[in-house]
Amino acid sequence: MEWYENRILSAKNGTNPMLMKEMKGGYAVFGDTQFLPGYCVLLPKKEVHSLNDLPIDERNQFLSDMAFLGDALIASCRPLRINYDILGNTDNYLHAHVFPRYEWEQEERRKMPVWLYDKSNWYDKAKQFDIEKHSELRKRITSYLELND
């Protein structure tokens, strides 16, 4: 099994190369694409269909961890704001997208959900995570998560 076929299991067993930190309610992973530098995803500790499938204490911890991951992006990336998305429309399991939004984005783009960016942004090899290109940013985010845990 390739790590991306089951991202939660690969985070648990340490084979997910995007993993930054195991948190109390989930796994903070770096995003596959980085056209918005610092994009991260929070994976839950167990595979469930939606946020509402978690018991209330686990749900609260997941949401708290999601906001904390946003804090890490604010400290590390200095964006204008953070966008949070929990969708599950394509990958049918709970996961939260945490997107930094930047002043350098075109104003009309900045006001819209990131999903309305051209599809080339999601699949362009030059915009995909690269261990060398993104290592410093990833280290800053991970350090914030570890130091403020």
Q: Could you tell me the domains of the chain?
A: 3-147 (3.30.428.10)
In the chain, the percentage of residues whose pLDDT exceeds 90 is 70
pLDDT at 133: 85
SS3 content of the chain, % helix, strand, coil (to 5): 45, 20, 40
Query: In this predicted structure, which of 3-12, 52-61, 77-86, 113-122 has the lowest mean pLDDT?
Result: 3-12
Amino acid at site 98: V
- Is the pLDDT score of 1 beyond 80? no
Whether residue 124 is predicted with pLDDT greater than 90 in this model: the reply is: no
pLDDT of residue 4 exceeding 80, the answer is: no
Burial (0-12, 13-18, 19+ Cβ within 10 Å), 108: exposed
In sequence order, which residues have a C-beta less than 8 Å from that of residue 95 and are 6 or more positions away? 7, 41, 42, 43, 44, 86, 88
Against a cut of 0.75, is the pTM above it?
A: yes
Taking the C-alpha atoms of residue 145 and residue 108, their distance in angstroms, rounded to an integer, is 32
Place of tokens 């914030």: 144
Q: Give tens-digit pLDDT for 62-115.
A: 999 999 999 999 999 999 999 999 998 788 899 999 999 999 999 989 999 999
Residue 67, both tokens = 């906001």
Instruction: Tell me if 142 sits within 8 A of 20, measured CB to CB.
Output: yes
Q: Which of 100, 94, 4, 90 is nearest to 42 (CA)?
A: 94
Is residue 123 over pLDDT 60?
Answer: yes
